[in-house]
Amino acid sequence: MALNLGQISVGTAVTAVLTVPPGTTSVLWYNLNTANTIYLGLSTAVTSSNGLAVHSVPTSFQGAPTSKGATIYGFSTPATTTLNFVISSGQ
């Protein structure tokens, strides 16, 4: 099992933020800066209308053993802020 935890700076332009590995995976993320909102999605077309808003309450999801993994894209508004994350995988 691999455990990856840390922080990443998310800017105001849409960029690749995280890579979720394939297979059995658990992902948790949160944003402690309540003045800024981070929006995440599965493509570079993520917006405040279609993206998942990341708040200070941790949000998590699990990947199935057959999951192919994914690149998570995102941006922050109105200013750059920090995304905190924990990724646990079976690799």
Which CATH number does 2-89 carry? 2.60.120
Domain boundaries defined on the chain: 2-89
Q: pLDDT truncated to tens, each residue of the chain (91 aa)?
A: 789 999 999 999 999 999 999 999 999 999 999 999 999 999 999 999 999 999 899 999 999 999 999 999 999 999 999 999 999 998 6
What does pTM read for this prediction? 0.91
Do residues 24 and 63 make contact, with C-beta atoms less than 8 angstroms apart? yes
> In this predicted structure, what is the pLDDT of residue 1?
78
> In this predicted structure, what is the pLDDT of residue 47?
97
Count other Cβ atoms within 10 Å, centred on residue 90. Answer: 13
